[in-house]
Amino acid sequence: MPKRAFSPLRRLLLGGLLASVASALLPWSNAIAEDAKTLRIGYQKFNSVNILKGSGALEKALAQQGVKVSWHEFAAGPQLLEALSTGAIDLGHAADAPSVFAQAAGKPVVYLAAEQPYPRGIGLVVREQDHIASVQDLKGKRVATGRGWNAQYLLAVALQQAGLSYQDITPAYVNNAADAVAALQSGSVQASTLWDPFLAAAEAQPGLKNLRDGSGLTNNRTFYLSTASFADQHREWLKTFFSELSKVSQWANAKPAEVASLLAPQLGINASVLEVASERRNYNAVAITPQIVAEQQKLADTFQGLGLIPHKLSVADAVYPTAVLP
């Protein structure tokens, strides 16, 4: 395999792996040390919050209120939500599945807003040499995925659509995208579930293909979350955050190539790969509607039916009741 084609994906995945290890060994000590006039924001690679960080606009806007901003990177949603629930950060974002799992675990997180649907940003990736042509071909195969990942939900509903059940495959649980891709490349699994930008990087790698994305199966939304206590006390900070997020999101939707150029140095991945991921995403934040609650409820019920969530939960109970969008 040409080294040049592999190195961007390797750098990106290694960065995610190192961030995951760091978050496990040093449990958000920097975030905990911030003073009371600092908005501590958790983010993941490649999203509207990551773009907002790169713009510097939020720092300027909050400085007028005497508020500083600190940014804390996480490898995936579950780690970010754990930090949010323990008070190590004040605000962050996560995909649909990690958000439901956090609520099921009793973590005191609330939904503030949602992103637009992003079904093409998740996928089931296979090796071409394994000659897997459809989801039906995954029967009896090992699939690398993570507990509570948005891409795990895609796997579950894709199997259902194909007339299979989750029990028809053998899940190989991993903690991050780096491990998922490594397992696929080694042949220890026959498919891996991934999300952008890791998915876009894998699609650009010779020998790998996206077997099925979320189109027609899941909206794969990103949610913005906080705790009710923080939102009650700092509503003006949140309104400023979402105001600046709206501006940068509109720019990002119109300029995917510029988004890629902005983030490429941070992520250590080729801008052309990031542009592909950005072109298929709508970054605009929207209010939590009954339709979005129903989407999340279906997701929660699906995971409960698989025995991955132990009890029935009401997604509506975790929706913050006061509007914070501009």
Is 326 contained in some domain? no
Closest-CA residue to 181 (of 35, 38, 13, 48): 13
Q: 161 and 20 in one domain? A: no
Q: 129 and 90 in one domain? A: no
Among the three residues 213, 241, 257, which one is the final residue of a domain in this structure?
213
- For the chain, what is the domain count? 2
> Quick one: DSSP state of residue 308?
S
- Averaged pLDDT for residues 293-321: 94
Is 305 contained in some domain? yes
Among the three residues 166, 198, 213, which one is the final residue of a domain in this structure?
213
Span 137-191, pLDDT tens digits: 999 999 999 988 999 999 999 999 999 999 999 999 998 899 999 999 999 999 9
Span 54-82, pLDDT tens digits: 899 999 999 999 999 999 999 888 899 99
Q: Return phi, psi of residue 92, to 5°.
A: -170, -175
- Strand residues in the chain grouped as ranges (E): 38-43, 68-73, 92-95, 110-115, 122-127, 142-145, 170-173, 191-195, 208-213, 222-226, 285-286
Q: What is the pLDDT of residue 21?
A: 39
Is 324 contained in some domain? no
Note down the domain range covering 174.
119-213
Q: What is the pLDDT of residue 1?
A: 40
Among the three residues 194, 213, 232, which one is the final residue of a domain in this structure?
213
Question: Alpha-carbon distance 164 to 181, whole Å?
Answer: 24
Q: 144 and 39 in one domain? A: no
Q: Collect all residues with Cβ–Cβ distance below 8 Å to 207 and sequence separation of at least 6.
A: 1, 127, 128, 129
Q: What is the DSSP string of 250-287?
A: HHHHH-HHHHHHHHHHHHTS-HHHHHHHHHT----EE-
Look over the chain and give the mean of its residue pLDDT values, rounded to a whole number: 89
Closest-CA residue to 212 (of 132, 145, 299, 266): 132
Q: What is the pLDDT of residue 4?
A: 40
Please say whether the beta carbons of 236 and 156 come within 8 A: no
| Model confidence band, residue 14 (pLDDT cutoffs 50, 70, 90) | low
Question: Alpha-carbon distance 166 to 176, whole Å?
Answer: 20
Q: 237 and 153 in one domain? A: no
Q: What is the pLDDT of residue 35?
A: 57
CATH of the domain at 264: 3.40.190.10
Q: Does 25 score more than 60 pLDDT?
A: no
Span 253-266, pLDDT tens digits: 999 999 999 889 88
Q: Does 95 score more than 70 pLDDT?
A: yes
Query: Which one-letter amino acid corresponds to residue 122?
Result: I
Q: 145 and 82 in one domain? A: no
Q: Does 269 score more than 80 pLDDT?
A: yes
- Averaged pLDDT for residues 196-213: 95
Is 325 contained in some domain? no
Question: Alpha-carbon distance 230 to 241, whole Å?
Answer: 14
- Averaged pLDDT for residues 214-224: 96
Q: 233 and 103 in one domain? A: yes
Q: Does 26 score more than 70 pLDDT?
A: no
